[in-house]
Amino acid sequence: MSKLDEVKEILNTLRVAMSLSFGMLVITVSGIIKRFDNNNVDAIFWLGVVFTIFILLIIFLLINKISQRTKEIKEL
């Protein structure tokens, strides 16, 4: 496998991980909003808020990695 193919495969894997992360973010935020609308602000609500912040951090890191890999392809 050439270096270019290896980098492309890693880039595709990162894109899939980012898509799954966005899906988890949407589901979590919708659950948080539902609990908030039902005036059910409890430990699960706050756990969801913390998890949402964590997912946003992961998405940010994935976007940075995708950017690095894309620049690496440009150099090859």
Domain ranges, ordered by start, for the chain: 3-75
Give, as one character, the DSSP assignment of residue 42: S
Q: What is the pLDDT of residue 1?
A: 72
Given a contact cutoff of 8 angstroms between Cβ atoms, the answer to whether 69 and 10 are in contact is yes
Q: What is the pLDDT of residue 2?
A: 87
Q: Residue 7 contacts by C-beta under 8 Å, 6 or more apart in sequence?
A: 69, 72, 73, 76
**Residues, the chain:** 76
pLDDT in tens, the chain (76 residues): 788 999 999 999 999 999 999 999 999 999 999 999 999 999 999 999 999 999 999 999 999 999 999 998 888 7
